[in-house]
Structure 1
Amino acid sequence: MTSKWKLSEIIILSVLAVVFAVVYLAFVQVGNVMAGMMGPIGYEWIFGIWFIVSIIAAYILRKPGAAFLSETVAGTIEVLIGNAMGPMLIVSAMIQGAGAEAVFAATRYKRWGLWVLMLAGMGSAVTSFIWGYFISGYGALDPGYVTLMFTIRLVSGALLAGLLGKWLTDGLYQTGVLNSYAIARDKKKASYGKAS
């Protein structure tokens, strides 16, 4: 694995960031509706969707910084296309990306199975929740309610970022469009190992 970035890797990271910035902005409206019906906990059920680009980009590129950079760029683009949260969203995106990046770094960027991707989604859940606790005033809520919020966010990170991210990326891989990226190299090695 090399830490030097190729132009094709920068391009796909940028494309993913743009696509998911639009998805993220759309899900803000979904979250607003859910929060309107359930209170603050309404956002938690779908929070994992806001971590997904970090999982997908890292899974495809298998390169240090991919999770952090993709999430940061997506957050920046989301602000530019109209998220009312403004520049503070970029900080949130960086914190979310750092949570996923830490999990991949802990494996030395060598493990890419489902459990690692789900843990990366949970890593984003942890860092984002700590950040949210201080900037969103969770401390004023009942501790049991806050614990439930955190638990739901962890599950959402694992399922909507980790599991869904893997499923979407594997589907994209099957089309052949990812053949020039690290994911294809590793999958071919794994297939060759099984065949020998």
Structure 2
Amino acid sequence: MLREWKLKEIVLMSILGVVFAFIYLGFYFFGQGLRNALMPFGLAPFGYELIFGIWFIVSIVAAYIIRKKGAAFWSELIAGTVQVLVGSPAGPQLIISAAIQGLGAEAAFAATKWKNYSLWVLVAAGMSAALFSYAWGWFQSGLAALPAGLIIATLLVRLASGALLAGVLGKWISDQLAKTGVLRGYALGKVKQNGRIRKAS
């Protein structure tokens, strides 16, 4: 799969994976604090769900910028692996979680044969990653033990978080990077450049 990639694309994907690994790690502790803050109100299960989409964002950013098969999966896997290497409290199983989340996002791009990177596809990728991660959590994190109403509520919140924090925010971050010109040699940068040329002509 990566044989079709340019070296600079692999390097960028790796950099994104490492950078977001530290962002993810920071949000792990933020989520714990949010969970503790919601506990007195009986809403502790929503602590992480509200921000869960942030843990899918690198897959959206990498795929949107590079636009090649595997970008969503590999970037997420790199981010998960780096978190484990720097000592994430989640432990080695985090690598499996990252792979599953990456597969979820990749599935949305695969459905378009890696040809459509519109906002709605990015949102779908964030929601797909959320759905895949929830299915994994059903077995790994004990979500199956929650009351039916809470299962539905937490799933809906995670889907919304994936749509907004991964899909919408991921696109916005990527577009802002493209505006600086640092992505000129990548697929997103070329699309933006062509768009500017057409508007000027």
Alignment match, 1:78: 83
1:140 positional shift? 1.3
* Corresponding pairs, count: 195
Q: Distance in 2 between matches of 1:178 and 1:89?
A: 30
Greater displacement, 101-110 / 30-39:
30-39
2:36 corresponds to which letter in structure 1? G
Question: 1:171 & 1:187 partners in 2: Cα distance?
Answer: 11
CA contact (8 A) 1:99 1:125 kept: yes
Matches of 2:198 and 2:177, distance apart in 1: 23
Task: Tell me whether 112-121 or 88-97 shows the greater mean CA deviation.
Answer: 112-121
Cα pair 2:56 2:101 within 8 Å, conserved: yes
In the alignment, the residues of structure 2 paired with residue 17 and residue 41 of structure 1 have an alpha-carbon distance, to the nearest angstrom, of 26
* Structure 1 residue corresponding to 2:148, chosen from 143, 147, 152: 143
Match of 1:50 in 2: 55
The structure-2 alpha-carbon separation of the partners of 1:3 and 1:119, relative to structure 1 and needing over 3 Å to count, comes to farther
Deviations along 1:135-158, whole A, 9 cap, x unmatched? Answer: 111111111011100000000000
Query: In structure 1, what is the Cα distance between the partners aligned to 2:128 and 2:151?
Result: 18
TM-superposed deviation, 1:193:
5.0
Structure 2 equivalent of residue 32 of structure 1: 32
Counterpart residue identity of residue 151, structure 1: L
Structure 2 counterpart of 1:57, one-letter code: A
Give the corresponding residue for 1:170.
175
- Tell me whether 185-194 or 137-146 shows the greater mean CA deviation: 185-194
Give CA deviations for 1:13-69 in whole Å, capped at 9, x if unaligned: 111011100000000001111122331221000000000000000000000000000
1:121–1:162 CA contact under 8 A, matched in 2: yes
Q: 1:159 corresponds to which residue?
A: 164
Q: Matches of 2:199 and 2:103 in 1, distance apart?
A: 34
Task: State the shift of 1:189 in Å.
Answer: 3.5
Q: Are the aligned partners of 1:118 and 1:157 in contact in 2 as well (CA < 8 Å)?
A: yes
Q: Which runs of 5+ in 2 are unaligned?
A: 39-43
- Percent identity, aligned pairs only, is 55
Q: Which residue of 2 aligns with 1:96?
A: 101
Question: What CA RMSD, in Å, does the superposition of the two structures yield over aligned residues?
Answer: 1.5
Conserved 8 A contact 1:92-1:131: yes
Distance in 2 separating the partners of 1:110 and 1:150: 29
Instruction: Assess if the C-alpha contact under 8 Å between 1:3 and 1:64 holds in 2.
Output: no
Is the contact made by 2:178 and 2:192 (CA closer than 8 Å) also made in structure 1?
Answer: no
**One-letter identity of the residue aligned with 1:147:** I
Q: TM-score, normalised by structure 2?
A: 0.93
Residue 19 of structure 1: aligned partner: 19
TM-superposed CA distance for 1:191, in Å, is 4.2
Q: Higher mean Cα deviation, 50-59 or 136-145?
A: 136-145
Mean alpha-carbon deviation: is it higher for 30-39 or for 101-110?
30-39
